[in-house]
Copies of this chain bind each other. A is one copy, B any other.
Amino acid sequence: MNFLEERIQKDGIVKEGNVLKVDSFLNHQMDITLFEKMGEEFKRRFAGKKFDKILTIEASGIGIACIVARHFGVPVVFAKKTKSVNIDGEMYIAEVESFTHKCRNQVIVSKKFISEGEHILIIDDFLANGCALQGLISIVKEAGASVDGIGIAIEKGFQVGGRMIRNLGYHLESLAIVDAMDAETGSITFREQ
């Protein structure tokens, strides 16, 4: 097991309905030392790639993306889920609906912050059905930029998002892939990587 799998094993809590709670270190309370290790690991996995910018989505992607950005020396842009008074001017807006109809989201980025020809690394905390991720990818494409890497902390390998994204040819790296969870026993099975 790698450092993130160990941490999930130790502090993650499996709940009914395929819910994995990691709020004590990842997405409510955030362990910055752990995020630093994640940054180092993404740097290793995307070795040799040159990115211009990291793109993430509010709220829980932001902390990880900012620490990861230190390891690549690039700025971070975070997509918003609702149109706020603080975004004006031209915007990219992706309307994303999942095949399960369980999520329907707007993903919004100001056109100023993704430019044609840029090489983008997308970072997020979770990948399950891939709803938010699809919106981010569609915005990068619309901007004429390219998604050269996707870095995820925890992928739910038993849901469809990761497979679909890999089938489309994207370079997706998930630091931990959960293939099965059992709420009764609390056991978590990670995919060998």
Given the complex, which residues of B lie within 8 Å of A83, measured CB to CB? none
Where chain A touches its partner, the secondary structure class is mixed
Which positions 2-59 of chain A face chain B at CB distance < 8 Å? 19, 21, 23-25, 27-32, 35-36, 58-59
Nearest B-chain residue to A112, judged by Cβ: B24
**Pairwise interchain contact B113-A77, C-beta atoms closer than 8 A:** no
Task: State the oligomeric state as a number of copies.
Answer: 2
Q: Kindly state whether residue A176 has any CB partner on chain B within 8 Å.
A: no
**Pairwise interchain contact B113-A32, C-beta atoms closer than 8 A:** no
Pick from B77, B80, B112: contact of A59, CB below 8 A.
Answer: B80
Bound CA span A78–B66, Å: 14
**Pairwise interchain contact B24-A86, C-beta atoms closer than 8 A:** no
Residues of A in contact (CB 8 Å), total 35
Bound CA span A80–B76, Å: 21
Bound CA span A67–B31, Å: 12
Given the complex, which residues of B lie within 8 Å of A28, measured CB to CB? 77-78, 80, 86-87, 109-110, 113
Which positions 97-115 of chain A face chain B at CB distance < 8 Å? 109-110, 112-113
Nearest B-chain residue to A79, judged by Cβ: B28
Given the complex, which residues of B lie within 8 Å of A21, measured CB to CB? 86
Bound CA span A109–B85, Å: 25
Beta-carbon contacts of A126-148 to B below 8 Å, as 1s and 0s?
00000000000000000000000
Which A residues fall within an 8 A CB radius of B? 19, 21, 23-25, 27-32, 35-36, 58-59, 62-63, 65-67, 69-70, 74-78, 80, 85-87, 109-110, 112-113
Interchain residue pairs A-B with the least CB separation, the first 5:
A58-B59, A63-B66, A62-B62, A59-B59, A29-B113
